[in-house]
């Protein structure tokens, strides 16, 4: 079993990375493979709503990180999506990535557990967690929680490490994610499959 961790921050070894790494460390201890996908500093364009991805599972634009992230997501059993808080929101590059990933390849996420992790100097954390959770809750994904909201505080990795409660929240998240994955796996072995989906109904409120 494998968990894909996405670091939305341009700082590849910054605060968000520090938080994600603590959760990843525990997942590995629990026997779950992990992989960190770094968005880095290169630009990621926003979704243009062209619909070119429909039934293809890939975005029409192949010149940035999105299709590479989709390939990684397809091979994962669970996800932890991390973001620095920018103006009380998840950072723009991450949102551009998630819009395009979930639109082009939403099917690969279905019924797989996921969690949001955010890092902030001070504020905007719960709004940013809510924002990321919305991708999960439109794709039948069980949301994994921790003993408190999944945030750390700091402007530098050293400050984040001093947020002892935040670091404990990350370790607890790692354990909870491992437990959820093991329960799903055990369920499959016992013949409990994912629920059967109904034929989709789409109502656009135009009459």
Ligand X SMILES: Cc1cc2nc3c(=O)[nH]c(=O)nc-3n(C[C@H](O)[C@H](O)[C@H](O)COP(=O)(O)O)c2cc1C
Residues that bind ligand X (CB under 6 A): 9, 11, 14-17, 84-88, 119-124, 154-155
- Tell me the closest approach of the beta carbon of residue 30 to ligand X, in angstroms: 24
Which lies closer to ligand X via its Cβ, residue 121 or residue 188?
121
Q: How far is the CB of 4 from ligand X (least distance, A)?
A: 17
Q: Which residue is nearest to ligand X (CB)?
A: 14
- Select 53 or 157, whichever has its Cβ closest to ligand X: 157
> Contact, 10 vs 93, CB < 8 A?
yes
Nearer to ligand X, 44 or 59 (CB): 44
Q: How far is the CB of 39 from ligand X (least distance, A)?
A: 10
CB of 169 to ligand X, least distance (A): 15
Integer Cα distance of 148 and 135 in angstroms: 20
């Amino acid at each position: 079993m494998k968990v894909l961790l996405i670091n939305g921050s341009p700082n590849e070894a910054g605060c968000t990375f520090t938080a994600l790494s603590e959760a990843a460390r525990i997942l590995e201890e629990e026997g779950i493979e992990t992989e960190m996908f770094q968005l880095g500093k290169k630009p990621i364009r926003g979704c243009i709503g062209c619909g070119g991805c429909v039934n293809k599972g890939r975005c029409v634009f192949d010149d940035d990180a999105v299709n590479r992230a989709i390939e990684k997501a397809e091979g994962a059993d669970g996800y932890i999506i991390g973001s620095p808080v920018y103006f009380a929101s998840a950072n723009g590059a991450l949102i551009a990535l998630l819009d395009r990933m979930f639109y082009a390849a939403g099917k690969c996420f279905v019924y797989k557990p996921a969690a949001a992790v955010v890092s902030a100097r001070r504020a905007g954390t719960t709004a940013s967690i809510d924002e990321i959770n919305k991708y999960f809750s439109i794709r039948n994904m069980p949301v994994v929680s921790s003993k408190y909201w999944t945030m750390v505080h700091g402007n530098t990795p050293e400050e984040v490490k001093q947020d002892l409660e935040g670091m404990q929240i990350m370790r607890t998240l790692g354990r909870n994610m491992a437990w959820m994955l093991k329960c799903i796996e055990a369920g499959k072995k016992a013949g409990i499959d994912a629920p059967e989906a109904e034929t989709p109904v789409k109502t656009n409120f135009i009459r």
